[in-house]
Amino acid sequence: MKQSDQSVSGKTHQTDWKAVRDEFPALHQQVNGYPLAYFDHAATAQKPRKVIDAMTRYYEFDNANVHRGVHSLSQRATLAYEEARQKTARFICAKDPSEIIFTSGTTASVNVVALSWGRAHLKPGDEVLVTGLEHHANLVPWQMACAMTGAQLKIVPVNEFGEVSTDSVAEMLHSKTRIFAFSWISNALGTINPAHDWVQLAREKGITTLIDAAQVAAHHPIDVQHLGVDFLCFSAHKMMGPTGLGVLYGKKSILETLDPVFGGGDMIDEVTYEKSTWADLPYRLEAGTPNIAGVIGLSAAIDFLESIGWQNISRRESELLQYALEKLSEIPQIRFIGSPKERAGVISFVVDGVHPYDLGILLDEQGIALRTGHHCAQPLMRHFGITGTCRVSLAIYNTFEEIDQLDRAIKRALRLLGISQSN
Ligand code: C6P
């Protein structure tokens, strides 16, 4: 039975979810004659008006390069850029803004660590540990680092529920392990890993840790000091900010030891033809003109998320998740891939005999946007003996009515495919 968003807003501290949704211009459109139902938040989130406006304002009034000009526009742009760094540091409870390196995304952040830290610390006989749940962004860079240094990549296995057990992690963290790099939330299955416990296990053995928090930043507060993690990476675009902007957090004591991966403007202290010396953190790891508008957009996205509040976000998302799981469970042709006990707002499923792309296209014809395919997690798909899934990912701006629309659309698609007669 359909729940109304009105009644749900009552349960969630009176947050007016319709008003929240109204802040996202892209959600208010028809696609193929149906109201858009956007269930692809895990790929990239829609952007609230405040984020779009903040970036437009920068381009319209303050557009100038940062750290390079004495003129007023450059001063304003620099101030906004550095204030955003401070806000980002506070957002994840970093000790110091210089621990925040702006990159182009989670992928770039992991690559910087794999290339720079990896080159300095890995050697033949060493092991790099990741889990079987990783996105390629936290797998391929480590394969490359291992190929470069002679270290070996080890994978903590995934069980049939799409979970990685802490016992297996503990077993595989040993004297040869140099770094344990893992995703806090799996983008493909929604599994939430016990990040704090895993970091503590690694720290007890003196092992460096990296958390891929790409799927966390919009859904759950992050406290890097409580986690005790050495590196943590996320992307602005998955937290309602712009594309092309990411964050690499690193403990200052470790970042200070990293050689820059990129050389160029803004990252040097002194350059001669013979040699160059590096600027202090964070600039030494931010070569070239940064994504200034992106950083300003990230700052606005943080304000937006914090104005709603983590408790409200979490309650809303779990209500939507429960409702979606209930609805989809009632469709007998659907087979869920992964059923983790701790799950974020992600549901992966297949319909045996139907290619996920075909189902995705039939759903798009009914206004439904979801992701189909391997979700950049091919080894995980192989583990389940499939090539891909359909993935529903949920966010605070989704509605219960949209989940009903999804339910109707799947049933209609199955009828069109000739594998269901029911209404
Ligand atoms: N996942 C998804 O549809 P970038 O592309 O650098 O912003 O983020 C990469 C990345 C890293 N780790 C995790 C856990 C992720 O989910 C992603 C991006 C998107 O699932 C696009 S493939």
Kindly state whether residues 226 and 361 are assigned to the same domain.
no
Position 221 pLDDT exceeds 70: yes
- Are residue 252 and residue 125 in the same domain, yes or no? yes
CATH number at residue 115: 3.40.640.10
Is the shortest distance between the CB of 394 and ligand 1 below 6 Å? no
The residue whose two tokens read 């891909």 is: 388
Residue type, 58: Y
Both tokens of residue 85? 């760094």
How is residue 2 annotated by DSSP?
A: P
Is 422 domain-assigned? no
| Domain C-terminal end among 306, 324, 343 | 306
With beta carbons less than 8 A apart as the criterion, state whether 38 and 401 touch: no
Residue at which a domain ends, from 286, 306, 326: 306
Give yes or no: residues 220 and 335 share one domain: no
Distance CA 67, CA 295 (A): 14
Of the residues 140, 191, 238, which should be mutated to test ligand 1's pocket, given the most ligand atoms within 8 Å of the CB?
A: 238
Rg (CA), the chain: 22
| In a domain? residue 222 | yes
Burial class for 134, CB neighbours closer than 10 Å (0-12, 13-18, 19+)? buried
Q: State if residue 178 touches ligand 1 by the CB under 6 angstroms criterion.
A: no
Tell whether 158 is covered by a domain: yes
Tell me: do 39 and 77 sit in the same domain: no
Residue 13 has pLDDT above 70, yes or no: no
Residue 1 has pLDDT above 80, yes or no: no
Which atom of ligand 1 approaches the CA of 105 most closely? 6
Ligand 1 site, residue 105, Cβ cutoff 6 A: yes
275 in a structural domain: yes
Query: Domain ends where: 306, 328, 343?
Result: 306
Token pair of 383 as six digits: 């583990």
Average pLDDT of the segment spanning 337-343? 98
pLDDT in tens, 282-295: 999 999 999 999 99
Average pLDDT over residues 55-62: 98
- For ligand 1, atom 18, the nearest C-alpha belongs to 43
pLDDT of 10 over the 50 cut:
no
Whether the predicted pLDDT of 12 surpasses 80:
no
| 92/197 same-domain check | yes
Reported as a pLDDT band with limits 50, 70 and 90, residue 2 is very low
In a domain, 200, yes or no: yes
For residue 423, being part of any structural domain is answered with no
Please check whether residues 209 and 78 belong to one and the same domain: yes
For residues 18-28, give the mean pLDDT.
Answer: 98
> Nearest CA to 365 among 45, 34, 126?
34
Q: What is the pLDDT of residue 11?
A: 42
Residues 298, 84: contact at Cβ < 8 Å? yes
Q: Which atom of ligand 1 is nearest to the CA of 183?
A: 14
Instruction: Tell me, yes or no, whether 421 lies in a domain.
Output: no
Q: Is the minimum distance from the CB of 348 to ligand 1 under 6 angstroms?
A: no
Q: What is the average pLDDT score of the chain?
A: 95
pLDDT of residue 412: 98
Question: What are 141-180's pLDDT values in tens digits?
Answer: 999 999 999 999 999 999 999 999 999 999 999 999 999 9
Residue 69: the pLDDT is 83
169: its two tokens: 């992690």
- Residue 32: pLDDT band by 50, 70, 90 thresholds? very high
Q: Are residues 256 and 385 in the same domain?
A: no
Q: How far is CA 407 from CA 106, 250, 390, 400, in A?
A: 33, 43, 13, 11
pLDDT, residue 5, reads 44
Average pLDDT over residues 300-321: 98
User: What mean pLDDT is predicted for residues 309-314?
Assistant: 97
Q: What are phi and psi of 77, to 5 degrees?
A: -65, -40
- The amino acid occupying position 388 is G
Q: Looking at the annotation, which residues are catalytic?
A: 376
Distance CA 18, CA 24 (A): 10
* DSSP letters for 265-304: TTSEEEE-SS-EEEPPTTGGG--SS--HHHHHHHHHHHHH
Q: Is residue 419 part of a domain?
A: no
Is 31 within 8 Å of 391 (Cβ atoms)? Answer: no
For 346-394, the pLDDT digits (tens) are 999 999 999 999 999 999 999 999 999 999 999 999 999 999 999 999 9
CATH number at residue 30: 3.90.1150.10
Distance of CA 245 to the CA centre of its chain: 12
Q: Is the pLDDT of residue 7 over 50?
A: no
Supply the pLDDT for residue 350.
98
386 CB-contact burial (10 Å; exposed 0-12 / middle 13-18 / buried 19+): middle
Same domain, 23 and 84: no
Please name the residue whose Cα sits nearest to atom 16 of ligand 1.
Answer: 187
**Are both 350 and 377 inside the same structural domain?**
yes
133 touches ligand 1 (CB under 6 Å): no
pLDDT in tens, 238-296: 999 999 999 999 999 999 999 999 999 999 999 999 999 999 999 999 999 999 999 99
How many distinct structural domains can be found in the chain? 2
Comparing C-alpha atoms, which of 84, 80, 175, 187 is closest to residue 136? 187
Residues 232 and 111 grouped into a single domain: yes
- Are residues 43 and 152 located together in one domain of the fold? no
pLDDT for the residue numbered 14: 79
CA of 122 to the centre of ligand 1 (A): 25
Query: pTM for the complete prediction?
Result: 0.96
**Residue 324: both structure tokens together:** 């979606």
Question: Does the CB atom of residue 116 touch ligand 1 within 6 A?
Answer: no
State which ligand 1 atom lies nearest to the alpha carbon of 187.
Answer: 16
C-alpha dihedral (87, 221, 369, 17), degrees to nearest 10: -90
User: Is there a single domain that holds both residue 200 and residue 146?
Assistant: yes
Range of the domain at 375: 7-47+309-414
